[in-house]
Amino acid sequence: MIKMAFSHRLLLGRLLTRSGDQAWDFAVPLILLKILPGELRVAAFYYFLIRLALVIFLPRLTSLIDRINRFNAARLGILLQLVGVLLGLFSIYFISMLNSIEPMWGKGPFIFAFVGLVLGGVVASLGSSFMDIAIANDLVPSSFTENELAAFNSRLRQVDLLTEVTAPVVAGLLLVLESPLAPLFGFLLIGLWNVFSFVPEYILLKSIFDERPDLKNKEINIERVKNSSFVKNITSGWKSFFSEPVSLAVIAYALLWLSVLSPHGVLLTAYLTDGWKLPEWEIGIFRGLGAFFGLGATLLFPWVNKKLGLIKTAHIFLAFQSASVITALMFFYMDNRTGQIGFLALILLSRIGLYGFSLGEMQIRQVGIRPEVRGEVNGFANALTGIATLGLYGAGALLPSTQDFTKLIVLSVSFVILGLAVYSVWVRKSRQIKY
């Protein structure tokens, strides 16, 4: 029997986790709209509550990574995802039995089922984010040298892009399957896909820790293990995060999330459909090319990083993104077909800068955060991007019409430029730090 390499097992575990997550996130809103036609507000409220819960609870949860051994952290992440998926699956079936927000026996049953669905989504999302931090931001930097991190991180991101493209396609094909013996048969298959994927994922992680028992345990930050109120822990946690040497680099990355200029973004897709009246096939090609250009960044980043170093490489990629979106804005104001093509092409080019900077920011966190506080600090970093996402959708709600989209584009470009400015300040402050 051929023994799988250590790095390949980590990548395969990532593939299992991300493919299930992507398929589930794709399927849930579609199945809700199938069960409750026209009730887009239900799906929107569902995702809003999940994002809000992640912002509030994720930093507190990920602080556990700093207090338990790595194998127990991985098991907890898998358990949370399993419980969340099962609860969500049962809740969807319960809602399908009601067939309406206001069934003839009152609103109560629907509210009960929706609360179960939200709880399932929150638990599954917390588990997924917990696993991402436990593996990518703690186990990986403890397993590879700094010289090896850039190449391995690029491969991790390639796995993410692969699942981003293929998992929704497979999920979409499964959703059309029907069976007279099982209602929502395709959705059931997606749920089972998630549930059973946790078994090989657990086996892979167990084999990693069996082979490398030195990775199980780490230095525990005793000062963090205190009995204090939830609010006090969160408040002190934010203060600790902003005092970290890498905080400005993380803030610069979070600012990039305040942008509608994403090929797979909901708001941009809606504008291309309603504002520009682009056909679905054209939008589909645009979304697919977004992943392709992101893949290009994962191939370029290790090579540039080797030549110029981490901080400078990340700076170059972020500057490239800024230049791309500024030029895209100029094409947008042309208001003709040439302007449309130029705008979309520049958005695609900007993905090279975004994904390249994303890889740089990830490695900056990996090597710049002390091992004993990786869980907590990365939890707050993820919460920061969650806050940015909530802010983006809040802006979309305040500027809902197609005519208002120009303002969202200008704001998006402004936040990318602000991100570059913040990162530039951090670069000057961190010249004495070795990365």
pLDDT digits 0-9 by tens, 345-371: 999 999 999 999 999 999 999 999 988
What are the sequence ranges of the domains in the chain?
A: 1-218, 229-435
What is the total residue count of the chain?
435
Residues near 424 by Cβ (< 8 Å), separated by ≥ 6? 315
Q: Are 139 and 77 in contact (CB under 8 A)?
A: no
Domain 1-218 = CATH 1.20.1260.10: no
20, 128, 147, 276, 427 from 134: Cα distances, Å: 18, 10, 21, 42, 27
pLDDT attached to residue 350 = 96
Alpha carbon distance 424, 13 (integer Å) = 35
Q: Are 94 and 116 in contact (CB under 8 A)?
A: yes
Alpha carbon distance 168, 23 (integer Å) = 5
Predicted TM-score (pTM) of the model is 0.85
Structure tokens, 371: 């091992």
pLDDT tens digits for the chain (435 residues)? 345 688 899 999 999 988 988 888 888 888 887 887 766 677 778 888 898 999 899 988 998 898 889 999 999 999 999 999 999 999 998 888 876 555 544 566 778 888 999 999 999 999 999 999 999 999 999 889 888 899 999 999 999 888 888 888 888 888 888 877 778 888 999 999 999 999 999 999 999 998 888 888 776 655 554 545 556 666 777 888 888 899 999 999 999 999 989 887 777 887 887 788 888 788 878 888 888 899 999 999 999 999 999 999 999 999 999 999 999 999 999 989 999 999 999 999 999 999 999 999 999 999 999 888 889 899 999 989 989 888 887 777 676 666 778 888 999 999 999 999 999 999 998 765 555
Say if 1-218 and 229-435 have the same CATH topology. yes
Q: What is the per-residue pLDDT across 373-388, written as a single tens digit (0 to 9) for each?
A: 889 899 999 989 989 8
Cα 163 to chain centroid, rounded:
12
Residues near 331 by Cβ (< 8 Å), separated by ≥ 6? 338, 339, 340, 341, 342, 343, 346
Alpha carbon distance 91, 69 (integer Å) = 33
Structure tokens, 54: 């992640």
Alpha carbon distance 407, 301 (integer Å) = 32
Tell which CATH architecture fits domain 229-435.
Up-down Bundle (1.20)
> Over the chain, what is the mean pLDDT?
86
Q: Is the dihedral of CA 36, 41, 43, 46 positive or negative?
A: negative
